[in-house]
Amino acid sequence: MVDDGLPPPEPVLIERICNGQPRPEGYTDSKGRFSVTLGQNQGMFQDASVGNMNDDPFAGNTIGRGSTNPTMTPGGRRPITERDLAGCEIRASLPGYRSDIIPLAGRRVLDNPEIGTIFLKRIAGVQGLTYSMTTALAPKEAKKAYEKGLESAKKTKWAEAQTHFQKAVDLYPKYAIAWHELGRVMAMQKNDADARKAFGEAFAADDKFVKPLIDLAQVAARESKWDEVVETTDRVIKLNPYDFAGAYFMNSIGNLQMQKYDEAEKSAREALKLDPRNTVPKTQHIMGIILANKQDYEGAAKHMRQYLQLAPNARDTEIVKKQLAEIDRLIAGKAGPEK
């Protein structure tokens, strides 16, 4: 529940935080209610990445009301025990808001699973949001078409979803979230030109709705239009400098590609600061490349080693190892021969 007593403006991710590590558990419904079985949704949510910087409505499950069940997990997984809950908390996650924290330590299997109401408090000064104020004004038929589009998208029926989202925006041209989802399904069908137009319409309908800007930046990155990547992510950061580590990450890549190393370093450091748990480990590698270009080889080596530790099975591991070996060679050469 938002601190004004109303339900949240969109489904909210419920996270279990154990020893500082977030684990997604599910989503609220449209009224802010939730009911999750702890551990059930591991693997159902995509990891944060360049291509998935915001909550994915295609992957997310909207589920039910303020209770948790710590005992049962599907697929033969080991049940979560009382010991597993030591050092764990439950929180809600919605950009632009700060959540109450509900401790789970000391809860027993047979305890009442109701954990009470989690309140979300709006962060002062944040303009950019992941929901659109135009949604409440959508007529019933447009909302129905939008919901059908989401159902089709969850089944990866992209063309069918596109038809429903197109109907929604035809019925209500200011339907920002429908324009955004229309752009997403177009992008999934490799139609970046029309996706661009749809994302543009989404932002034109609501210039505080940041999701279409993030997707526009991703399209620009695929097309190697780095000046546009930087310009678009700059707009996201201006609207909301607190919640979108991925926007800083892409901004750093864009500036790096344009050899603007100071700007790239500044954005990469902000991305790392907003992502202390390294959910996007690639940021460490990008920081290493930036520092290497600035001839800070010790700093570059540190971040590249951190990346290899965080993502030992990444596809670019061998490339990064070669880069690190070259940096170590430069460090050794800078130190000079031993006497």
Q: In the β-sheet with 13-18, what is the strand arrangement from edge to edge?
A: 62-64, 21-28, 13-18, 88-93, 101-103
pLDDT of residue 203: 94
145 vs 20, more confident:
145
**pTM of the predicted structure, to 2 decimals:** 0.69
Which residues sit opposite 67 in a β-bridge? Answer: 35, 114
Residue 87 backbone zone (phi > 0: left; psi -120 to 50: alpha; other: beta): left
CB within 8 A of 95, min separation 6: which ones? 54, 128, 129, 130, 210, 240, 242, 243, 244
pLDDT at 54: 35
| Cβ-proximal residues to 30 (8 Å cutoff; 6+ apart), any chain | 7, 11, 62
* Cβ 80 vs Cβ 93: under 8 Å: no
Contact (CB, 8 A) for 147 and 178: no
Query: Can you tell me which residue has the tokens 């059930």?
Result: 40
- Write the pLDDT tens digit of every residue in 183-205: 999 999 999 999 999 999 999 99
3-class DSSP state for residue 333? helix
The domain ranges of the chain are: 13-122, 135-335
Q: How far apart are CA 248 and CA 140, in angstroms?
A: 37
Cα separations in angstroms, 78 against 39, 107, 115, 262: 9, 18, 23, 48
pLDDT in tens, 87-123: 778 887 776 677 777 777 666 555 666 767 887 776 6
Q: What is the mean pLDDT of the chain?
A: 81
Distances from the Cα of 245 to the Cα of 241, 252, 316, angstroms = 9, 11, 22
Question: Which DSSP symbol is given to 243?
Answer: S
Q: Give the CATH fold of the 135-335 domain.
A: 1.25.40
Q: How many residues does the chain have?
A: 339
Backbone φ/ψ region at 39: left (φ over 0), alpha (ψ -120 to 50), beta: left
- Separation CA 233–CA 225 (nearest Å): 12
CA distance 339 to 330: 18
The tokens for 124 are 């002062």
pLDDT tens column, 262-289: 999 999 999 999 888 788 899 999 999 9
Dist CA 71 CA 79 (whole Å): 6
Cα-flanking dihedrals φ and ψ of residue 243, to 5°?
A: -120, -5
Residue 63's pLDDT band, with cuts at 50, 70 and 90, is very low
Structure token digits, residue 26: 């599910």
Does the pLDDT at position 56 exceed 60? no
Q: Which of these, 60, 48, 56, lies nearest to 277 by C-alpha position?
A: 48
The angle, 0 to 180 degrees and rounded to 10, between the axes of the packed helices 297-310 and 317-335 is 150
Are 148 and 190 in contact by the 8 Å Cβ rule? The answer is: no
Q: What is the Cα–Cα distance from 147 to 167, expressed in whole angstroms?
A: 11
pLDDT over 50 at 179, yes or no: yes
Q: Check residue 53 and give its pLDDT.
A: 38
Four-residue CA torsion sign, 184, 186, 187, 189: positive
